[in-house]
Amino acid sequence: MFACYKWCTIIPWCLGSTVARLKMGDYHYYGYGTEIDYETAATHYRLATEQQHNAQAMFNLGYMHENGLGLKQVCHNIQH
């Protein structure tokens, strides 16, 4: 697991892969081999979403928005 993190930071083509972006987001989200950094995780998830509409990355971004993790929290229960 940590070896992939090191490879993805060294080899530029690895960062063009949506799977690699998703994994990089996971590493930053959970703190695998790095400090927990929700903003960086959100950046990787967003790029994976934009590159090829990765469903897992979209879900992760939605979860982060809903819970205010590194992103502005989305409020669903606003009364008008």
**Does 32 or 4 have the greater pLDDT score?**
32
Nearest by Cα to 44 from 31, 26, 32, 30: 26
pLDDT band at 2 (very low <50, low <70, confident <90, very high): very low
Is the residue at 52 inside a domain? Answer: yes
Is the residue at 48 inside a domain? Answer: yes
The per-residue pLDDT for range 22-70, each reduced to its tens digit, is: 999 999 999 999 999 999 999 999 999 998 889 999 999 999 988 888 8
Q: In Å, how far are 17, 36, 60, 61 from 54, measured between CA atoms? A: 11, 22, 10, 11
Distance CA 68, CA 42 (A): 11
pLDDT at 68: 86
Distance CA 10, CA 64 (A): 27
Is the residue at 76 inside a domain? Answer: no
pLDDT at 71: 75
How many structural domains are present in the chain? 1
